[in-house]
Amino acid sequence: MRTPIPDYLDELMRDCAGTRGGNVADYIPELSKVDPSLLSVAVCATNGHVYSVGDDTAKFTIQSMSKPFVYAAALEEHGLKRVLEVVDVEPSGEAFNELSLDDETGRPLNPMINAGAIAVNQLINGEESPVPERVDYILDFFSRFAGRELTINHTVADSELEHVDRNLSLAHMLRSYDVIQDDAQDAVRGYVEQCSIEVDVRDLAVMAATLANGGVQPVTGERIISASVARQVQAVMASAGMYDAAGRWMTTVGIPAKSGVSGGMLGTLPGQLGLATFSPPLDGKGNSVAGARIFRRLSQDMGLHLMATEPYGVQTVRSIREIDTFTVVRIQGHINFSAAERFLSQLTSHDIDTQCVAIDLARVSGFNSVGRRIVLEAMRRLAGDGRDVFVYDPDEVLPDPDLGDGTYPERMSDEKMLELQELHGNES
């Protein structure tokens, strides 16, 4: 059986491909050369499975999506107390490049706006670090998040450095308030190079999933940051990641996110997923138009709004057992997107060599709509592979299990399930 998740993503991407409006960033001249029709989506579950569709090998610079990760590096290196002396955690409600500091403390309001990010960059690799070593440190740190060696796009960095008055004025402002000590040119160079690290949409999804996974990179298994740092970073992304659109974003989409002027966008669902999109045309606030639309759809279709809580966290697949001519797959708990994804990944990695497959729902408490859709789709595909598909659903948690094509799995009776259980020897 082939997992249906890439098909969902493909459909979603095709639906959003016609999104009009927006302009490619041109204040960094090199960015204006990008093909505006590039489009890709990637999802990384916290079990390390990565799904992607579209132009998923297209490389682009990370830009402001670097900010949460450099903030994480600073927190790891210096601890929250020291980092809070340099940058606050309040949403600014202002544009990303606003010239603003807190009236009373003189600190930037948060690490997601440029003023805060430039200040945070100065903390990395020791506050006395020369710029090249600081940038190497950040590149190495990001590479561990991505699980592969990343590089800097120097053409984009040089292009930005030729048009960098705004960020230079921010650095001067930070110096005048003693938030940073570095020469303004050096401060901006370090920050701009951090923004010019090149990624693709899969890298971003895995990096985001590392935050969602409490700091453990889900593919390599390496712990990169502590769980408390991962929580801090995602909390700040939730309140300030989308700048002056942060409030509307959090209420409608409900996924902590960060965008970049290259057209990338990443999001985290704590405990569940990392998400990423790439589409270069931006709205007036510097967020990818198609990316935002895809995030909105993903949130609605897959029930990903952070505030729409549902009980989850138990092992989804309780057992997969061959009994007589049956493979019995017993699942449990509440089946939302990530539970359904775990079900799929275990089912697809299991070599089914019986004619009949029974999905045992006796321990399932309920489905949300995407969980239901995915499990039905899995059954449809099993039937398509020539299996006889049965469902054991004594509590009717999956009413009307139409497989989407007017066919239904066979209902397994209590007697039959009992018979199989007795053949196998009872399981508690």
Judged by the rule CB under 6 A, the positions of this chain that interact with ligand GLN are 63-64, 96-97, 114, 160, 167, 192, 195, 260-261, 286
Which residue has the CB atom at the shortest distance from ligand GLN? Answer: 64
Q: Is 386 exposed, middle or buried (0-12, 13-18, 19+ CB in 10 A)?
A: exposed
Entry field: residues in the chain: 428
Using the minimum distance from each CB to ligand GLN, give the nearer residue, 125 or 153.
Answer: 153
Using the minimum distance from each CB to ligand GLN, give the nearer residue, 92 or 316.
Answer: 92
Question: Any binding-site annotation on 243?
Answer: yes
Provide, rounded to whole angstroms, the least separation between the CB of residue 296 and ligand GLN. Answer: 20
Question: Any binding-site annotation on 27?
Answer: no
- Residue 365 DSSP SS3: strand
Using the minimum distance from each CB to ligand GLN, give the nearer residue, 41 or 192.
Answer: 192
Closest CA to 381 of 399, 407, 417: 407
Provide, rounded to whole angstroms, the least separation between the CB of residue 287 and ligand GLN. Answer: 9
Provide, rounded to whole angstroms, the least separation between the CB of residue 191 and ligand GLN. Answer: 7
Question: Any binding-site annotation on 37?
Answer: no
312's tokens: 């989850």
Using the minimum distance from each CB to ligand GLN, give the nearer residue, 275 or 339.
Answer: 275
Provide, rounded to whole angstroms, the least separation between the CB of residue 16 and ligand GLN. Answer: 21
187's tokens: 């401060």
Closest CA to 25 of 163, 141, 120: 163
DSSP state of 134: H
Provide, rounded to whole angstroms, the least separation between the CB of residue 150 and ligand GLN. Answer: 16
Give the CA-trace dihedral at 238, 242, 243, 246, to 10 degrees.
-60
Cα–chain-centroid distance for residue 321? 33
Provide, rounded to whole angstroms, the least separation between the CB of residue 23 and ligand GLN. Answer: 14
Provide, rounded to whole angstroms, the least separation between the CB of residue 266 and ligand GLN. Answer: 12
Answer yes or no: are the C-beta atoms of 55 and 40 closer than 8 Å: yes
Separation between Cα atoms, residue 100 and residue 104, nearest integer Å: 12
Report which secondary-structure segment, H or E, holds 130.
none
Residue type, 77: E
Provide, rounded to whole angstroms, the least separation between the CB of residue 259 and ligand GLN. Answer: 7
How many alpha carbons fall within 13 Å on the CB side of residue 101?
22
Question: Any binding-site annotation on 288?
Answer: no
Separation between Cα atoms, residue 264 and residue 274, nearest integer Å: 13
DSSP state of 411: E
Question: Any binding-site annotation on 261?
Answer: yes
DSSP per-residue string spanning 321-341: EEETTEEEEEEEEEE-HHHHH
Answer yes or no: are the C-beta atoms of 98 and 244 closer than 8 Å: no
What is the sign of the dihedral through the CA atoms of 28, 131, 259 and 106? negative
Using the minimum distance from each CB to ligand GLN, give the nearer residue, 96 or 249.
Answer: 96
Using the minimum distance from each CB to ligand GLN, give the nearer residue, 254 or 260.
Answer: 260
Separation between Cα atoms, residue 339 and residue 374, nearest integer Å: 10
Using the minimum distance from each CB to ligand GLN, give the nearer residue, 5 or 171.
Answer: 171
**Which runs of consecutive H residues, i.e. helices, occur in 162-258?**
165-176, 184-195, 201-212, 227-240, 246-252
Answer yes or no: are the C-beta atoms of 280 and 288 closer than 8 Å: yes
Provide, rounded to whole angstroms, the least separation between the CB of residue 114 and ligand GLN. Answer: 5
Q: Which residues are annotated as a binding site for substrate?
A: 64, 114, 160, 167, 191, 243, 261
Q: Which residues are annotated as a binding site?
A: 64, 114, 160, 167, 191, 243, 261
